[in-house]
């Protein structure tokens, strides 16, 4: 196995994979360990990787599956989404026309708020907006329906807004 | 058209609507300000969220990627090692035994092991030659290695042919491979009591019987093997199989079809008839004049008295040995004083090694039909004076060094095991002591009774390997203490190993140091296993 070639790919894609692991796993798991494990898995199955395909999506899918494995623990991943959350007061409607709560200046707190989201909302949001996965891809990865993906994304963003709004009101 | 739901707008912004749905929504939004604004806001939010999420945190260094050896590469390593061991041992046995080696290399010859085995053979299986035992030991070891190779093969299959059904199937076939290698095992019965277990004269037990209690009396009949342990053990009934009895006092007064092993402060054979061999070890071992032993007898104790008749060989070792009865074949005695009374009759040769020739006393009435050979303790030349000793030690260090490198490569955690200070070190030593003592006991129990010999033998061999590894682990630790911050493990390991071998070979303090180092090394391995286990469980 070509360790040198793999090492170069590792350096190139490390931060991206680390970001995915950190966002998917949230605060409970050490993302650095997870990233090492992802590349370890990639290294082991490097023989099956076809070099004409881009490496990014390939290692990305390994990372996604690994993180889901970690989160699943002993549960089946479907169980993560079986409890269809009731809409609650914490959801905040989009203030039409108002300045969005998400701004480049508060990137840090937005990322933190995403990491603090419950898994069932965090995973679709990370897959959709970090990995740029389509509804179909997310549905397949998480083992849920396409429609469910849309609902979870909508609710997840509402929760995110509520969280950011409460942060801002605390600051003031 | 009524206003679409927020879900539809959101899906539109995410690009998840079909082309017709998207066109419909766009037409509506063109005429509905509310929906237009909502979609605009959602789109802005989406763009910003993507931007923010995808802003990779540029800080922090990228740690180096160090690939762990994979399970398959572990297996390949193990497989090759097993095959190498098998090949080397085969070549060693078949080739070296036919060559004549120069004196300083004589320890390389299999017969050197044979000499060590000779005592075991004499003590445990009189009548079997050392060569037979050596070859039996090696074939046993080789069958274990073959089983190991088979298991590794199975492991490789599991790894490369994963599937829900393959793994259990292979596990079952591996287990049955072990079982088919096992001798036919019997059912067994266990009796346990704090105080007293009595098998009455009318009771017949058709299995192997295992008894533990303070006071054990067996008057009945046991057709299988009998394993008893207690403070006071008395066997007056009859036992068809092998007897293993341990206790403060062990009194054997029945009829025994198989060999009898007795160990205790007092081992007393009175009025007993033994069809096979008798092994007695204790502070005092007495074979009374009404006892008959059909096979060989091996007696070891501070005080050994043999009054009865022994049909074959007698091997006696102890401080004071007295023979009053008859021995059908040869007698060998090792002791400070050995005495043959007037009534003693040895049909074969008599070999005595005593403190001095004066302490071998043969009464005028005693008869020895064969040759008599009496000698004092031989003057051992100091082993430190022979070059072979040093060559041997250097080879020993090199072998352990190579093994250590392989070990640390396979299990890097062992190469980084740290000994904590204070009471934690005591805990480590205690774990080591537990492994040291409990494992062979359990293996022997397994060999004698439960699942059959191969499993016990395998455990025993693993235990021996662990003992060996313990030295390596502690040597690695010592080396790292002396040479910290070394990238490679090799130099510290070699240093630690050399130091350990030198120190443990010092007179007087060498033994205790070896014991402590061994216990700590075993403890470190134990703690590593424990951590591995709890990690897996978590």
pLDDT in tens, B433-458: 888 888 877 777 777 665 567 777 78
Angle at A151 between CA A148 and CA A157, to 5 degrees: 135
Given an 8 Å threshold on Cβ–Cβ distance, is B16 in contact with A151?
A: no
pLDDT tens track for B66-95: 776 555 556 566 666 666 776 676 666 665
B205 pLDDT band (50/70/90 cuts)? confident
Identify the pLDDT of residue B380. Answer: 58
Asked if residue B464 has pLDDT above 50, the reply is yes
Identify the pLDDT of residue B151. Answer: 62
Q: For chain A, say whether B160 makes contact (Cβ under 8 Å).
A: no
* CA A80, A81, A85, A91 torsion-angle sign: positive
Number of CB pairs, chain A paired with chain B, less than 8 A apart: 96
- Pairwise CA distance, residues B178 & B524, whole Å: 30
Q: Pick the closest to residue B431 from B521, B514, B531 (CA basis).
A: B521
Asked if residue B194 has pLDDT above 80, the reply is no
Q: For chain A, say whether B54 makes contact (Cβ under 8 Å).
A: yes
- Pairwise CA distance, residues B340 & B304, whole Å: 12
Identify the pLDDT of residue B131. Answer: 59
pLDDT tens track for B493-517: 888 888 888 888 777 787 888 888 8
Q: Give B85→chain A minimum CA distance, Å.
A: 28
Average pLDDT over residues B520-534: 84
DSSP labels, B112-141: HHHHHHHHHHHHHSTTS-HHHHHHHHHHHH
Residues of chain B with Cβ-Cβ distance to A162 below 8 Å are none
CB-nearest to A154 from B10, B34, B56 is B10
pLDDT tens track for B312-360: 999 898 889 999 999 999 998 888 889 999 999 999 999 888 888 888 8
Q: For chain A, say whether B6 makes contact (Cβ under 8 Å).
A: yes
Asked if residue B99 has pLDDT above 90, the reply is no
pLDDT tens track for B9-37: 999 999 999 999 999 999 998 898 888 98
Q: Give B161→chain A minimum CA distance, Å.
A: 15
More confident residue, B520 or A85: B520
More confident residue, B154 or B225: B225
Average pLDDT, chain B: 78
Given an 8 Å threshold on Cβ–Cβ distance, is B63 in contact with A36?
A: yes
- Pairwise CA distance, residues B280 & B266, whole Å: 9
- Pairwise CA distance, residues B212 & B210, whole Å: 7
Q: Give B48→chain A minimum CA distance, Å.
A: 6
Taking only Cα atoms into account, the Rg of chain B, rounded to an integer number of angstroms, comes to 35
Q: For chain A, say whether B457 makes contact (Cβ under 8 Å).
A: no
pLDDT tens track for A20-69: 998 888 876 778 888 988 998 888 788 777 777 888 889 999 999 888 88
Asked if residue B111 has pLDDT above 80, the reply is no
Query: What phi and psi, each to the nearest 5 degrees, are found at residue A133?
Result: -80, 150
Given an 8 Å threshold on Cβ–Cβ distance, is A134 in contact with B16?
A: yes
Angle at B467 between CA B465 and CA B471, to 5 degrees: 115
Identify the pLDDT of residue B285. Answer: 92
B165 pLDDT band (50/70/90 cuts)? very low
**Percent of chain B scoring above 70 in pLDDT:** 72
More confident residue, B248 or B110: B248
- Pairwise CA distance, residues B295 & B275, whole Å: 6
- Pairwise CA distance, residues B222 & B494, whole Å: 56
Structure tokens at B86: 């098998």
Identify the pLDDT of residue B164. Answer: 46
Cβ B236 vs Cβ B220: under 8 Å: no
- Among A6-10, A33-37, B118-122, B437-441, which is the least confidently predicted range? B118-122
- Among A130-134, B17-21, B130-134, B374-378, which is the least confidently predicted range? B130-134
Asked if residue A85 has pLDDT above 50, the reply is no
Q: For chain A, say whether B58 makes contact (Cβ under 8 Å).
A: yes
Asked if residue B101 has pLDDT above 90, the reply is no
Q: For chain A, say whether B53 makes contact (Cβ under 8 Å).
A: yes
Q: For chain A, say whether B537 makes contact (Cβ under 8 Å).
A: no
Q: For chain A, say whether B384 makes contact (Cβ under 8 Å).
A: no
Asked if residue B182 has pLDDT above 50, the reply is no
Element (H, E) at B315: strand B314-323
Q: How far is CA B262 from CA B196, B204, B218, B239, in A?
A: 19, 22, 15, 14
ipTM of predicted complex = 0.86
Residues of chain B with Cβ-Cβ distance to A156 below 8 Å are none
Identify the pLDDT of residue B251. Answer: 93
Q: How much of chain B is helix, strand and coil, in % rounded to 5?
A: 50, 20, 25
Q: For chain A, say whether B15 makes contact (Cβ under 8 Å).
A: yes
Q: Give A77→chain B minimum CA distance, Å.
A: 18
More confident residue, B445 or B373: B373
Given an 8 Å threshold on Cβ–Cβ distance, is B53 in contact with A94?
A: no
How many CA atoms, within 13 angstroms, populate the side-chain half-sphere of residue A23? 34
Given an 8 Å threshold on Cβ–Cβ distance, is B45 in contact with A107?
A: no
Find, in chain A, the residue whose alpha carbon is nearest to that of B11.
A150
Q: For chain A, say whether B538 makes contact (Cβ under 8 Å).
A: no
More confident residue, B215 or B415: B215
Q: Give A58→chain B minimum CA distance, Å.
A: 18
pTM to 2 decimals?
0.41
Mutate to test the interface with B, among A22, A31, A96, A99 (most CBs of B within 10 A): A96
A90 pLDDT band (50/70/90 cuts)? very low
Residues of chain A with Cβ-Cβ distance to B57 below 8 Å are 15, 18-19
Identify the pLDDT of residue B291. Answer: 93
Given an 8 Å threshold on Cβ–Cβ distance, is A150 in contact with B55?
A: no
**Percent of chain A scoring above 70 in pLDDT:** 78
């Amino acid at each position: 196995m070509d360790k040198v070639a793999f090492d170069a790919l590792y350096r190139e894609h490390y931060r991206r994979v680390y970001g995915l692991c950190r966002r998917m796993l949230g605060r409970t798991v050490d993302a650095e360990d997870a990233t090492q494990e992802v590349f370890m898995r990639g290294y082991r199955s490097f023989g099956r990787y076809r070099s004409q395909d881009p490496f990014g999506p390939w290692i990305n899918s390994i990372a996604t599956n690994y993180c889901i494995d970690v989160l699943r623990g002993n549960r089946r991943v479907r169980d993560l989404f079986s409890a269809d959350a009731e809409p609650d007061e914490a959801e905040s409607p989009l203030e039409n026309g108002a300045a969005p709560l998400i701004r480049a200046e508060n990137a840090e707190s937005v990322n933190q708020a995403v990491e603090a989201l419950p898994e069932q909302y965090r995973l679709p949001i990370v897959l959709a907006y970090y990995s740029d996965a389509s509804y179909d891809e997310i549905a397949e990865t998480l083992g849920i329906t396409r429609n469910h993906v849309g609902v979870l994304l909508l609710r997840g963003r509402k929760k995110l807004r509520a969280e950011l709004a409460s942060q801002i009101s605390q600051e003031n | 058209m009524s206003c679409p739901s927020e879900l539809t707008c959101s899906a539109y912004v995410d690009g998840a609507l079909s082309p017709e749905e998207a066109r419909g929504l766009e037409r509506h939004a063109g005429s509905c300000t509310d929906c237009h604004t909502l979609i605009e806001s959602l789109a802005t939010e989406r763009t910003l969220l993507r931007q923010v999420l995808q802003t990779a945190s540029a800080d922090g260094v990228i740690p180096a990627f160090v690939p762990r050896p994979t399970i398959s590469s572990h297996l390949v390593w193990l497989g090759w090692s097993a095959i190498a061991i098998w090949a080397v041992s085969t070549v060693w046995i078949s080739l070296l035994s036919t060559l004549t080696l120069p004196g300083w290399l004589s320890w390389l010859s299999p017969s050197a092991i044979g000499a060590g085995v000779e005592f075991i053979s004499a003590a445990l299986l009189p009548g079997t030659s050392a060569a037979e035992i050596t070859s039996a030991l090696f074939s046993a070891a080789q069958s274990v290695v073959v089983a190991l190779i088979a298991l590794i093969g199975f492991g490789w299959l599991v790894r490369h042919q994963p599937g829900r059904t393959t793994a259990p199937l292979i596990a079952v076939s591996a287990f049955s491979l072990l079982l088919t290698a096992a001798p036919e095992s019997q059912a067994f019965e266990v009796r346990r009591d704090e105080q007293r277990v009595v098998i009455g004269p009318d009771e017949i037990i058709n299995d192997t019987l295992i008894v533990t209690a303070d006071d054990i009396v067996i008057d009945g009949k046991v057709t299988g093997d009998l394993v008893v342990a207690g403070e006071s053990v008395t066997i007056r009934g009859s036992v068809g199989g092998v007897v293993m009895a341990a206790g403060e006092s062990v009194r054997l007064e029945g009829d025994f079809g198989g060999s009898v092993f007795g160990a205790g402060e007092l081992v007393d054979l009175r009025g007993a008839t033994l069809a096979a061999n008798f092994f007695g070890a204790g502070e005092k071992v007495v074979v009374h004049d009404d006892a008959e032993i059909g096979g060989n007898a091996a007696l070891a104790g501070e005080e050994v008295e043999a009054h009865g008749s022994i049909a074959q060989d007698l091997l006696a070792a102890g401080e004071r040995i007295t023979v009053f009865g008859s021995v059908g074949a040869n007698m060998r005695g090792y002791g400070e004083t050995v005495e043959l009374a007037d009534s003693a009759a040895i049909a074969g040769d008599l070999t005595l090694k005593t403190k001095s020739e004066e302490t071998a006393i043969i009464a005028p009435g005693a008869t020895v039909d064969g040759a008599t050979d009496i000698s004092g303790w031989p003057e051992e030349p100091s082993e430190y004076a022979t070059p072979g000793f040093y060559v041997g030690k250097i080879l020993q260090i090199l072998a352990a060094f190579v093994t250590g490198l392989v070990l640390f490569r396979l299990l890097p955690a062992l190469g980084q095991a740290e000994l904590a200070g204070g009471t934690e070190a005591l805990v480590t030593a205690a774990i080591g002591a537990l492994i040291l003592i409990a494992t062979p006991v359990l293996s022997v129990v397994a060999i004698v009774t439960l699942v059959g010999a191969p499993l016990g033998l395998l455990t025993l061999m693993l235990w021996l390997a662990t003992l060996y590894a313990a030295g390596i682990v502690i040597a690695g630790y010592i080396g790292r203490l002396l040479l910290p911050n070394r990238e490679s493990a090799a130099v510290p390991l070699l240093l630690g190993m050399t130091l350990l071998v030198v120190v443990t070979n010092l007179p007087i303090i060498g033994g205790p140091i070896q014991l402590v180092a061994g216990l700590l090394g075993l403890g470190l391995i134990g703690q590593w296993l424990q951590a591995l286990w709890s990690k897996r469980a978590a």
